[in-house]
A and B are shown apart, each in its own frame.
Chain A
Amino acid sequence: MKQGAIWTRPFYYIVVFAMATISLYPILLMMLSSFKTSVEIYKNPLGLPTSFSLDTYRTLLSKIPFTTYFMNSVFVSIVSVVLIVIICSLASFYIARFKFSWNNALFFIFLLGMMIPIKLGIVPLFILMRDLGLINSLWSLVFMNIATGIPLTMLILTGFFRTMPYELEEAARIDGAGNLRVLWHVVLPLMRPALGTVVIINFIAAWNDFFFPLIFITDKVKRTIPVGMMSLFGEHSADWGSLFAGLTLASLPMIVLFFIASKQFMEGLTAGAVK
């Protein structure tokens, strides 16, 4: 056993280093490849690019309306996240801070969404969006992001609301504050950690969403980044260099945000599963 103990630590380090390399390597390779021409990718796939020219990025921007895709993604993600936070704050405040007899049932119905494979409802959704005139509208994506974000967001916010003491709220009520004022001025400021978590999970989900834009958006100028990237490969399949330039640009916002707030990201994305 003693002998085993000597070897365990180095063995652990070898394993985590190897796995960290496997995790990070493809992302680094993507970034390096984004500076290479297709010819260079074929000839020298693993090495450093011969020059860090931005030609691939220029080609990318001239070939597809990448800026438009980017702005569409920004619009959809930000609007979705803001609305989710508002809508779910109201609903979870209601469920957590009041004791109406139907509140538990309501909460359960919201949580049920975590087990519903919503993709299977895509045909009725398509017909619904068509009837609402939302096909080829970015609002179809906003509504889907809100609707699919609700279960997890409700779980996190309701859980957090329940842990907060009632005293502060009561003091404000005695001073004559209504429900909205209590929520806005008293409760929400104390909720910052939970709100941060909720913003992060929903932002990642909205930014990376691929399935709903694939179905609801056919107009080229209404595409968000993921579907736009998909089409880039279909139409210009030989140009790996600018493809990776596009993928790098698509991933960069998330990676930068992750470097700034990696702890919140990791806590946020696992918040639903760990209680």
Chain B
Amino acid sequence: MKTVTVMPSKKKKSWAKWTIHLFPIPALVIYGMFVLYPILAALSYSFFEWKGMSRGDFVGFQNFVTLFTTEPYGSMFWNAFKHNVLYFVLQMVVMNGLALFLAFIIYQKIKGAEFFKAAFFLPRLLSVIVVGFLGKLILNPNFGTLNIILEKIGLESLQRAWLGDPNTALIAIILVNCWFGLGFGVLIFLAGFQSIPAELIEAARLDGAKGFTLLRTIYLPLMVPSITIMGVLTFIQSFEAFELVYAMQGSMGEPYYSTDTLAVFFYRLAFGSSTASGTTAIGLGSALATVLFLFILICTTVFLRFANKKDVQM
């Protein structure tokens, strides 16, 4: 460095010019090693035969064929896929629908708006493990709040082991996830409402628009950008769903795969905790990862393209 300082200014400048290119290097190296490389490698792994953790011969699309045509993998895939779809739909309707409504209420300048925002948001700060156990606490058949409330209001007939019953377990988990994510949606939608120019609403009011007309003609069209963002985020999160299911129902999607999702199925294949044979199936797992990755990528790209026409940016 010392030699540089005594050099003529022209040299010093070119040195400074060169060193600037070092600035993005640490970020690129870490991001490349731990994000880009693994995802690309996972795609390539799906075309090879695997024995445990060591790679064998190139087998083309064999893993994909096995995944979709061999039992129990084929039916497990579609079973989990259906659950992911339900995950997405329920979260869109319940969580985002409610978040949109709550954001609209807060936007009406109610008293205590800051408190309500913070209250809705607080669950978002908890670890998924904590969220999962809180779900188990509330839904516990013996001392869970939900069953106690049902008893108090005389609806004992509805009481059940929510997480032990294949008919309710998945819905229960998705609703726990809605509880977790609600506040985030409220904040996104609130920011959307607040970015609508006040003059526009004034003008519409003067034209005589009220209530639902106002909602339909002014608010909803102008909320499309925030709804799109929440839609995409919810989509990605729904098809990646793993932690909450794993924390609450384990790697088998108890009871009897009724809460299984594609990512949990992938985990079983990749780490062999409970494949049919009890061993790892990295080839199949990678094939599943590839299918899921492309599915998420294609759907979000198409969706954003379509939404872009309505002037949305992500």
- A interface vs B, CB < 8 Å? 1, 4, 9, 12-13, 15-16, 19-20, 22-27, 29-30, 33, 41-42, 45-46, 87-88, 90-91, 93-95, 98, 106, 109-110, 113, 115-128, 143-144, 146-148, 150, 154, 178-179, 204, 207-208, 210-211, 214-215, 225-227, 229-230, 233, 240, 243-244, 247, 250-251, 254-255, 258, 262, 265-266, 269-270, 273-275
Q: Which of B262-314 contact A (CB under 8 A)?
A: 263, 266-267, 270-271, 282, 285-286, 289, 292-293, 296-297, 300, 313
Query: How far apart are B70's CB and chain A's nearest CB, in angstroms?
Result: 20
Contact among B19, B101, B282 for A15, CB-based, below 8 A = B101
Total interface residues on B, using CB and 8 Å?
91
Q: Please, which residues of chain A bring their CB within 8 A of the CB of B192? A: 274
Cβ-defined contact, A120 with B42, below 8 A: yes
Q: Please, which residues of chain B bring their CB within 8 A of the CB of A125? A: 34, 38
User: Known: A33-B137, A110-B27. Contact between A274 and B188, CB under 8 A?
Assistant: yes
Query: How far apart are A208's CB and chain B's nearest CB, in angstroms?
Result: 4
Cβ-defined contact, A265 with B125, below 8 A: yes
User: Known: A123-B45, A179-B23. Contact between A251 and B126, CB under 8 A?
Assistant: yes
Q: Please, which residues of chain B bring their CB within 8 A of the CB of A33? A: 137
Cβ-defined contact, B247 with A93, below 8 A: no
Q: Please, which residues of chain A bring their CB within 8 A of the CB of B125? A: 204, 208, 251, 254-255, 258, 265
Q: Roughly how many angstroms separate A27 CA and B127 CA in the complex, as a whole number?
A: 12
Cβ-defined contact, B266 with A24, below 8 A: no
Q: Which of B226-260 contact A (CB under 8 A)?
A: 226, 229-230, 233, 236, 239-240, 242-243, 246-247
Cβ-defined contact, B121 with A266, below 8 A: yes
Cβ-defined contact, B24 with A91, below 8 A: yes
User: Lowest 5 A-B CB distances belong to which pairs?
Assistant: A121-B38, A147-B34, A124-B41, A45-B143, A91-B27
Cβ-defined contact, A26 with B28, below 8 A: no
Residue B92 lies at the interface, judged by CB distance under 8 Å to chain A: no
Which secondary structure characterizes the binding site on chain B? helix
For residue A129, which residue of chain B has the nearest CB? B34
Query: How far apart are B118's CB and chain A's nearest CB, in angstroms?
Result: 5
User: Known: A45-B144, A46-B148, A274-B191. Contact between A23 and B122, CB under 8 A?
Assistant: yes
* Central interface residue in A29, A123, A143, A214, by most chain B CB within 10 Å: A123
Cβ-defined contact, B120 with A146, below 8 A: no
6 contacting pairs across A/B (C-beta < 8 A) = A45-B144, A45-B148, A91-B23, A119-B263, A120-B293, A144-B34
Q: Please, which residues of chain A bring their CB within 8 A of the CB of B138? A: 26, 29
- Mark B14-37 against chain A: 1 for CB-CB distance below 8 A, else 0: 001001110110111011011111
Cβ-defined contact, B239 with A30, below 8 A: no
Q: Please, which residues of chain B bring their CB within 8 A of the CB of A87? A: 26-27, 30
Q: Please, which residues of chain A bring their CB within 8 A of the CB of B240? A: 117, 119
Query: How far apart are B244's CB and chain A's nearest CB, in angstroms?
Result: 10
Query: How far apart are B251's CB and chain A's nearest CB, in angstroms?
Result: 10
Contact among B26, B53, B134, B179 for A30, CB-based, below 8 A = B134
Cβ-defined contact, B182 with A23, below 8 A: yes
User: Known: A30-B134, A123-B282. Contact between A106 and B110, CB under 8 A?
Assistant: no
Cβ-defined contact, B23 with A266, below 8 A: no
Q: Please, which residues of chain A bring their CB within 8 A of the CB of B108? A: 12
Cβ-defined contact, A16 with B106, below 8 A: yes
Contact among A90, A227, A243 for B24, CB-based, below 8 A = A90
Q: Roughly how many angstroms separate A243 CA and B236 CA in the complex, as a whole number?
A: 31
- Mark B105-129 against chain A: 1 for CB-CB distance below 8 A, else 0: 1101010001111111111111111
Cβ-defined contact, B116 with A226, below 8 A: no
Cβ-defined contact, B239 with A116, below 8 A: no
Residue B98 lies at the interface, judged by CB distance under 8 Å to chain A: yes
Q: Roughly how many angstroms separate A240 CA and B136 CA in the complex, as a whole number?
A: 11
Q: Please, which residues of chain A bring their CB within 8 A of the CB of B47? A: none
Residue B142 lies at the interface, judged by CB distance under 8 Å to chain A: yes
Q: Please, which residues of chain B bring their CB within 8 A of the CB of A121? A: 35, 37-39, 41-42, 289
Cβ-defined contact, B129 with A210, below 8 A: yes
Query: How far apart are B282's CB and chain A's nearest CB, in angstroms?
Result: 6
Q: Please, which residues of chain A bring their CB within 8 A of the CB of B117? A: 266
Q: Please, which residues of chain A bring their CB within 8 A of the CB of B41? A: 121, 124
For residue B145, which residue of chain A has the nearest CB? A46
